[in-house]
Amino acid sequence: MQLKIGNIYIKDVQFASTTEVKDGVLHLNKDEFLAVAGDDERIASVDVYLAKPGEETRIIPVKDVIEPRVKVEGDGGIFPGFMCGVEQVGSGTTHVLKGAAIVTTGRIVGFQEGIVDMSGPGAEYTPFSKTYNIVLKVEPIDGILQHEHEEIVRLAGFRAGIYVGKAGKDVTPDDYKTFETKPLVQQINEYPDLPKVVYVYMLQTQGLLHDTYVYGVDAKKIIPTFLYPTEVFDGAVVSGNCVSACDKNPSYVHMNHPVIEELYAKHGKEFNFLGCVVTNENVTLMDKERSSNMTAKLVEFIGADAVIISEEGFGNPDADLVMNCNKITKKGIKTVLITDEYAGQDGASQSLADSTPVGDAVVTGGNANEIIKLPVMKTVIGYPEVAEVIAGGFQGSLASDGSIIVELQAITGATSEVGYGKLSARTY
């Protein structure tokens, strides 16, 4: 399966009478945008704001981040199972408004939502301080339950992403990148002397409001399955969860998955990248055993020599990560784990809730418990008072002057467990 990505680089976003891209500037018709995004009888009000890199702007609470994309050639569309049918995506040509993002906010749904600062020290920890953000504030009607509230905001964000993405349909991209994964036998035979690598892509599905979707299906309901990596770039996997902002994968991150992009970059050079096995993170021991058994069986069946495993979230999902590691390693397949740490504010506590001696190759996204002070911002989009409620905050987090003290856990993307973040390791 081959997918051609055409990148249209966005260097500014402005409100205008017509939604279009001209000379790298995204012009947005506010009224049309709100009519599309707010097209749900369960929505009481909807508004839109612009937040640009370097501005003294804070967005809180951040629910999801979505990249505007549009299918210009090939089957299906963007966000299959939600915004189009369930045709297989990941082939043909897709145009991307690179540098633009839809950020959804509004009243808090679950306590594990985040903060994006467009400047200051907090901006150094989130990748979305560098995007030109179209902030969609959605307020549902009264009486909506939490899971429906999440759905309303999620779908509004997807509608907004589709509307904005269409502005790039007839624009000539600034550059193209082509990604291809062939059927298994062909793929193996193309580079028979290189190690065969599979990515085990763990999705957050652990309980209420911990939902990730594959072709519109809540991944709680799936058994481990194979995806062509290119399917991910067309929105086959999207976020619907309220988990700690620091290591949550917003839909934007799934669509720009750095592990998949890096594996493609080294495919045919250092190893043979065979594809993705998506699996879930479970609540009960029985479900954990089932999914990890089937994941190990599937990567063995595919013929992997080595596997990269990433998790989403922390605590209970650490057990799923370790089970996958143990069972895959037992089959003679090498593993590398990607996680982050909750090691206490002093960094002295146990980093993970579970561990294994065979987990001897681990990449960390950083310590989510580290404390940071976020200064006063001139503009706050959303509800600053939730700083004391969201994960990483505490009573007294919000000072009277508007500054905030929180753990990195509260900052969207701060300790990304797929590496879509700004932290790195240095040797002194």
Cβ(184)–Cβ(302) below 8 Å: yes
Q: Which two tokens stand for residue 36?
A: 């599309």
Beta bridge partners of 374: 404
Kind and range of the H or E run holding 264: helix 258-266
Instruction: Fill in the amino acid letter for 402.
Output: G
CA 158 to chain centre: 14
242 belongs to the catalytic site: yes
Rounded distance between C-alpha atoms, residue 261 and residue 263, angstroms? 5
Cβ(368)–Cβ(409) below 8 Å: yes
DSSP secondary structure of 277-345: EEEE--SSHHHHHHHHHHHHHHHHHHT-SEEEEE-SSSSHHHHHHHHHHHHHHHTT-EEEEEEEE---T
Q: Which two tokens stand for residue 118?
A: 């467009």
Q: Quickly tell me which residue has 């970059």 as its tokens.
A: 265
Kind and range of the H or E run holding 136: strand 132-140
Cβ(245)–Cβ(216) below 8 Å: no
Selected catalytic residue, list 242, 246, 276, 325: 242
Q: What is the phi/psi pair of residue 407, to 5°? A: -80, 160
Task: Kindly list the distances between the CA atom of residue 319 and the CA atoms of 10, 95, 99, 334, 350, in Å, as whole numbers in the listed order.
Answer: 41, 38, 36, 18, 14
Beta bridge partners of 226: 277
Q: Is 81 left (phi over 0), alpha (psi -120 to 50) or beta?
A: left
Rounded distance between C-alpha atoms, residue 367 and residue 415, angstroms? 7
Rounded distance between C-alpha atoms, residue 409 and residue 394, angstroms? 12
Nearest to residue 417, comparing CAs of 371, 364, 374? 364
Active-site residues, by number, are 242
